Amino acid sequence: MKPLATLVLAALLLSAGVAGAAGLKLTSRDLASPEFAPHFLYKGFGCTGDNVSPGLAWSDPPAGTKSFAVTLYDPDAPTGSGWWHWVVYDIPAGQRELPSGAGAATGLSLPKGARQADNDFGAPGYGGPCPPAGDKPHRYVFTVYALDVATLGAAADASAALIGFNLHAHAIAAASLVIYHGRP
C-alpha cells in the first residue's frame, strides 16, 4: 500500500474509533440484566408478560440534533424481514428519556409531539418480546436516533418500515442496547 493511502486509512480508522467512543449513549436501568423481566414481555401469542415498555435514557447527542426516535427491532424473527416491536418518533430535541410504560398504545405517557407507529403486532405502541417457543434466543435491539429534522412528517398510518427508512435518512447519530430473549 502506498504511504499516503496508509496514512489516510489510519486517520479514518482513528477518527472512527474516536467517534464511536464519544457521542450519543443509550441506557436503561430496567434492562440491567441480559434477559428481559416478565413485566416487559408481550401478552399474547402464547406469551404471558405485562407488555410494558422499559424506561430508556440517552445522553450526549451531537450538535444539530432536532429530534429523536426510539425503536425496538428483532432481526432474528422468522419473517424474512425481522419484527418491529416499537417505533417512537418526533421526540423533541430536549427530551432525554422515555419512562417505563411510555409505550402504551394511548401514547399518553409520551413527550408532547412524539408519535408511535404501529408495531408488527398490528397496534400502535410497544409490543414486547415473544419469540416462537423453542427458537434460539432472539436479539432485541433498542436504538435511539438523533435526527437532523424536528419532525419526520410521516403520515399517521406510515408503516414501521417506512419510518425506519426515514430514520436512517435523517440520523446523525445512533446508539443501541441489545437484550436477548428466548422461550423454551
- Dump pLDDT digits (tens) for 25-74: 999 999 987 778 899 999 998 999 999 999 999 999 999 999 999 999 99
User: Which DSSP category does 30 fall into?
Assistant: T
Q: pLDDT grade, residue 22 (50/70/90)?
A: low
Q: pLDDT grade, residue 182 (50/70/90)?
A: very high
Q: Where are the beta strands (DSSP E) in 67-170?
A: 67-74, 83-92, 97-98, 115-116, 138-147
Give pTM, 2 decimals: 0.87
Residue 164 vs residue 32, higher pLDDT: 164
Sorted by where each starts, the structural domains of the chain and their CATH numbers stand as 23-181 (3.90.280.10)
Asked whether 150 and 112 are in contact (CB, 8 A), the reply is: no
Q: Nine-digit cell at 4? A: 499516503
